[in-house]
Amino acid sequence: MDQRLKDLLALLELEQLEVNLFRGESRDIGAPQVFGGQVLGQALSAAAATVEARVVHSLHAYFLRRGDCNAPIVYQVDRSLDGHSFTNRRVVAIQHGEQIFNMTASFQVSEAGFDHQIAMPAVPPPESLPDPLEGPPAALLERLPERVRRFFEQPRPFEFRPVQGIDPQRTAPERQIWFRAVGALANEEMLHRRLLAYVSDFFLLDTATLPHGTSLLRPDLVMASIDHALWFHRPLRVDDWLLYAIESPSASGARGFARASVFARDGRLVASAAQEGLVRQRQRT
């Protein structure tokens, strides 16, 4: 297995301290705080460790405080419900004695029912698109703020193929991005859903900046996730190409909102996501 994937899988594996109590390590990916996808993935790992024979179908989370990349995170699980078909768990993430995150996740016994979905957008295949996060030109790296440059220089367990590119231009608030893990993974549904939770925090909030001619690449822009929701509709594999079709219906009050559909390459709608976050432009002096 690719070493970048090994490191990510190790990051999502937690140490059990006590019944319903787990501890996870933190990882610096070049952001000024712990990456939100890491906390999502680890919290889902903690919840799943207390559930048997059911798979997660939705999660709803709030990011309360910035996480410290240099300290572990403790996850406390509340077993809210063990019902006939559904199981519910609430997870609180604690660092330095304070809550930095909380999440509620719902798990379900597999069963059949009605089945319909929207169509996947018509986009170019991923093989025809470049990966802008795989070694940006040196001239571009030199112009980027240090925090952004460190983000690009970190080893990445996923590869991305944006359909529209990532240049900050005034465009419609929508984009499509192909992504997949950099290597093959075991055929374990819960593993792939944990990894989708991790990677779902990329690109969502950025989409809210597109109509304004700015982006995370700008040093005067402050962005941070406030809440995050994810629904799993059908079986999926993150080691095969998935299409992240994102749109931002609104930005106001220093907050941006984005929602997305995740399609498998064969057109199946496998998941949906939504996020609201802080989008604040610092006043220039």
Distances (CA, A) of 44 to 58, 92, 224: 10, 11, 20
Task: Tell me the pLDDT tens digit for each residue of 113-170.
Answer: 999 999 999 999 999 998 765 555 565 556 555 655 665 667 789 999 999 866 556 7
Q: Which residues contact 115 (CB under 8 A, 6 or more apart)?
A: none
**Which range of residues forms the domain containing residue 26?**
3-109+137-281
30: in domain: yes
In a domain, 127, yes or no: no
Q: What are the backbone angles phi and psi of residue 119, rounded to the nearest 5°?
A: -85, 150
- Phi, psi (deg, nearest 5) at residue 23: -135, 135
∠ CA 180-251-131, nearest 5°, is: 25
- Indicate the number of domains in the chain: 1
Does residue 239 form part of some domain?
yes
Residue 121 included in any domain: no
Residue with token string 């064969």: 266
The answer to whether residue 94 sits within a structural domain is yes
Neighbours of 266 (CB within 10 A): 9
Q: Residue 39: phi, psi to the nearest 5?
A: -65, -40
Instruction: Tell me, yes or no, whether 128 lies in a domain.
Output: no
Dig out the tokens for 8 from the structure: 């990510």
Burial grade of 163 (CB within 10 A; 0-12, 13-18, 19 or more)? middle
Q: Which residues are identified as catalytic?
A: 201, 225, 275
CATH number at residue 231: 2.40.160.210
Tens-level pLDDT at each residue, the chain (285 residues): 789 999 999 999 999 999 999 999 998 776 668 999 999 999 999 999 999 999 999 999 999 999 999 999 999 999 999 999 999 999 999 999 999 999 999 999 999 999 999 999 999 999 999 876 555 556 555 655 565 566 566 778 999 999 986 655 678 899 999 999 999 999 999 999 999 999 999 989 989 989 987 665 566 788 889 999 999 999 999 999 999 999 999 999 999 999 999 999 999 999 999 999 999 877 665
Within a domain: residue 116?
no
* Residue 177: inside a domain: yes
CA 247/CA 206 separation, integer angstroms? 10
Distance CA 141, CA 125 (A): 27
